[in-house]
Amino acid sequence: MPLDKELANYLMKEGIFQQMFDVIRLVEQDGHYVCKYQHDGSCTVTDETCFSVWGKTHRCSNCVSRQAYDEERQHVKFEYAKNRYYFVIARPIWLQGKKYALELVMDVTNQFTQNNPSEGNFVMNLIHELERVSSRDPFTGLFNKNYLQKELTQALEQRHAQSQPDSPLYLAIWDIDNFKQVNDTYGHDMGDKILLSVAQALQRGLSPKDGITARFGGDEFMILFHHTDRDRCEHLLQAIKDDIDHQTHSSLLCNESTCFRVSISYGLADVHSYDTAAAALHAADQQLYDRKRKIHKKVVI
């Protein structure tokens, strides 16, 4: 699929408020932007620079696209150019196996004037959008650690407020077996691709009604299951594990293609009886490493 079509599909899938922004563009690492979103839903391939829109001949010292690209997290800033004020959001995304910065630019000059009847809508829309974006891991598109911890805390508080909680609540934690060895052997670019493939397998294997899927950090992922009994949790987790374990990955080493597989392990804990999110997370983590010890235990003769 051409890059411009893939960007248009990404924006539609993510539900970004396209009409809210004046400019949406895809920026490469060197500062050139290769796709510009049009409000008719199409994207135009370009070869302009991210700083040309500000009337500059060189990259901004506070370039949020470069920061988003290098740090793999969202950055925001206000920019003043040609007597106008702009609000800029930059977030890292992967399209066609390549990393870009997605820039969302909004002209907010009129929002700084007094008694603007639309100011309230702008502020509320902006707050809602920032809340939505801040709940996501920018690299994989899954929910992030803070969001999962908040949801887990609220779920535990709700359970404790009930005299007889009868709805199941399980927490699963995953990690990629020997992930450091993957990075050391095949490089961090391949490690990033493995992380994305795992995230995509989790998204394929779980529907929103099954639970909340998050990247907890590094090669750790978590799923908070609501209203799902243990047998179904185990069934879903094993199906996802089988999917990931049987995927074949390829890397170019010394001009030769090397094919390999990775495996993933998980632990599942019933967190009803725990008072805090930290205790529930520790229980799931312990289940993961208990399972790892059983599966990967070596017999010494």
Q: Is the model's pTM score more than 0.85?
A: no
- Please state the separation of Cα 146 from the chain's center in Å: 12
What b/e sequence results for 17-41 when a residue is b if at least 16 CB atoms lie within 10 Å of its CB, and e otherwise? Answer: ebeebeebbbbbeebebbbbbeeee
In the predicted structure, residue 173 carries a pLDDT above the cut 90: yes
Secondary structure letter of residue 113 according to DSSP: S
Contact 3, 10 (CB under 8 A): no
The contacts of residue 82 (CB under 8 Å, 6+ apart) are 55
Mean pLDDT over residues 15-27, rounded? 73
Mean pLDDT over residues 240-268, rounded? 86
What b/e sequence results for 113-125 when a residue is b if at least 16 CB atoms lie within 10 Å of its CB, and e otherwise? Answer: eeeeeeeeebeee
Instruction: Kindly indicate the confidence band of residue 300, based on its pLDDT and cuts at 50, 70 and 90.
Output: very low
What's the pLDDT score for residue 15? 57
145-161, pLDDT tens digit by residue? 888 988 888 888 777 76
182-221, pLDDT tens digit by residue? 888 888 888 999 999 999 999 999 988 888 999 998 999 9
Secondary structure letter of residue 168 according to DSSP: -
96-149, pLDDT tens digit by residue? 888 888 888 888 877 654 444 444 555 556 655 666 667 888 889 899 988 898
Where does residue 298 rank: exposed (0-12), middle (13-18), buried (19+ CB within 10 A)?
exposed
> Which helix (H) or strand (E) is 294 found in, with range?
helix 277-296
What's the pLDDT score for residue 299? 39
What's the pLDDT score for residue 233? 93
> Which helix (H) or strand (E) is 167 found in, with range?
none
45-68, pLDDT tens digit by residue? 777 888 877 777 777 777 888 888
Task: Please state, in angstroms and rounded to a whole number, the distance separating the CA atoms of residues 262 and 278.
Answer: 29
